[in-house]
A and B are shown apart, each in its own frame.
Chain A
Amino acid sequence: MLAKIYITLKKDVLDPQGSVIANSLKSLGFNNIEDVRQGKFIEVKLNAENKETANKQLNEMCEKLLANLVIEDYKVEID
């Protein structure tokens, strides 16, 4: 089973890297940029009985290690 995990900064946390990327995109002529937020993408391959068990485990992985819940949100998708 392949899981895709998206980790993003919470909305109220400043993302200076995102702001710099937005400025660079604008300097390339993409003038319609409104905002850029940078995050992490992690793929996890795992053996699990079913999607429900996998989802539970993956959420636990995010909460224990993969995301820092003080500043980050996460989203799990299973193929």
Chain B
Amino acid sequence: MKSHVIVFPGSNCDRDVAVAIKNISGHQPQMVWHKEMSIDQSDLIIVPGGFSYGDYLRCGAMASTSPIMQDVVKKAKEGVPVLGICNGFQILIESGLLDGALMRNSSLSFICKDILIKAKNQNSVFTKNAQVAKMPIAHNEGNFFVTSEQLKKIQDNDQIAFQYCDESGNVSEHSNPNGSLENIAGILNENKNVLGMMPHPERAAELAHGCEDGKTIFESILN
């Protein structure tokens, strides 16, 4: 098992996700600085959360032009699993690997709290163990939007990975923290090997975090 974590100036969840992967798989991921031109053979590439480039222009826009992203896009198109968390999700959208846009939260506030999500697609490499899971969100721009044509496409192709829900798994306006269309918390690409999600599974991955629900996502990929 070889995994890689991309590090941009302003990434701040890179170490957290590396610790989660090490604890769950026993393998130490390799950290890759964004100025590198390529990644070695990889079984999993993580684009971590943070505030790459200070969120200049649009969140993730600057990072999507970093040298390493060309190889991340190439590897993703070859089928390597790529997981983008929070700012990583924003970067994958800006790189063109995922559809849609992440706009400012409808409340106009930074939201940092535990939420519940459930997997809509339970067949992808990332979501096969997923049930209703609790983990934190911490973002200002997580309000997922797509055009109605794109929404139909991602619905028809089963690309909605996670939706914000309540404790019984009901998806409603009440359980939507940020105004995301269809309560979307994470989406997959057409081939289901690229996942972007706003919630932070690496921050709910050991007992000390107060919740271990995030482990299921890593276990789904790593085992």
Q: A residues near B, CB below 8 A? A: 13-14, 16-17, 20, 65-66, 68, 70-71
B100 contacts partner chain A, Cβ-Cβ < 8 Å? yes
B170 at the interface (CB under 8 A from A): no
B65 at the interface (CB under 8 A from A): yes
Smallest CB–CB gap between A70 and chain B, Å? Answer: 4
* CB-contacts of B59-74 with A (<8 A): 61, 65
A16 near B145 with CB under 8 A, answer: no
Does B104 lie within 8 Å of A17, measured CB to CB? yes
- Tell whether B108 is near chain A: CB-to-CB under 8 Å: yes
User: For residue B61, which residues in chain A have a CB less than 8 angstroms away from its CB?
Assistant: 65, 68
Would A70 and B145 count as touching, CB distance under 8 A? Answer: yes
Given contacts A13-B103, A70-B101, A71-B101, 7 further A-B contacts (CB under 8 A): A16-B106, A16-B107, A65-B61, A68-B58, A68-B101, A70-B145, A70-B146
Enumerate chain A residues within 8 angstroms of B108, measured Cβ to Cβ: 16-17, 20
Q: Are B100 and A70 in contact (CB under 8 A)?
A: yes
B208 within 8 A of A: no
- 11 CB < 8 A contacts A-B: A13-B145, A16-B104, A16-B106, A16-B107, A16-B108, A17-B108, A68-B58, A68-B101, A70-B146, A70-B147, A71-B101
Contacts of A71 in B (CB 8 A): 101, 103, 145
Taking residues whose C-beta sits less than 8 angstroms from the other chain, chain B's interface range is 10 to 19
Residues on B close to A: CB < 8 A? 57-58, 61, 65, 94, 99-101, 103-104, 106-108, 145-147, 150
- B218 nearest CB across to chain A (Å): 30
Contact check, B106 vs A14: say whether CB atoms are below 8 A apart: yes
Indicate if the CB atoms of B147 and A65 lie closer than 8 Å. Answer: no
A65 touches B145 (CB 8 A): no
Task: Look across to chain B and name the residue whose beta carbon is closest to the beta carbon of A14.
Answer: B106
B65's nearest neighbour on chain A, judged by CB, is A65
Complexed CA–CA distance, A14 and B104 (Å): 10
Docked CA distance A41–B43 (Å): 42
Complex alpha-carbon distance, A17 and B109, angstroms: 11
A17: chain B residues within 8 A (beta carbon): 104, 108
A29–B103 CA distance with the chains assembled, in angstroms: 30
Which residue of chain A has its CB nearest to the CB of B103? A71
**Known contacts A14-B106, A17-B108, A70-B146; A65/B57 CB under 8 A:** yes
**3 closest Cβ contacts across the A-B interface?**
A70-B101, A71-B101, A68-B101
Which residue of chain B lies nearest to A13 when distances are taken between CB atoms in the complex? B145
Q: In the complex, what's the smallest C-beta–C-beta distance from A13 to chain B, in angstroms?
A: 7
B residues less than 8 Å from A68 (CB atoms): 58, 61, 94, 101
Chain A residues with Cβ below 8 Å from B57 are: 65-66
Inter-chain contacts of B104 with A (CB < 8 A): 16-17
Min CB–CB distance B53 → chain A (angstroms) = 12
**Which chain A residue shows the least CB distance to B147?**
A70
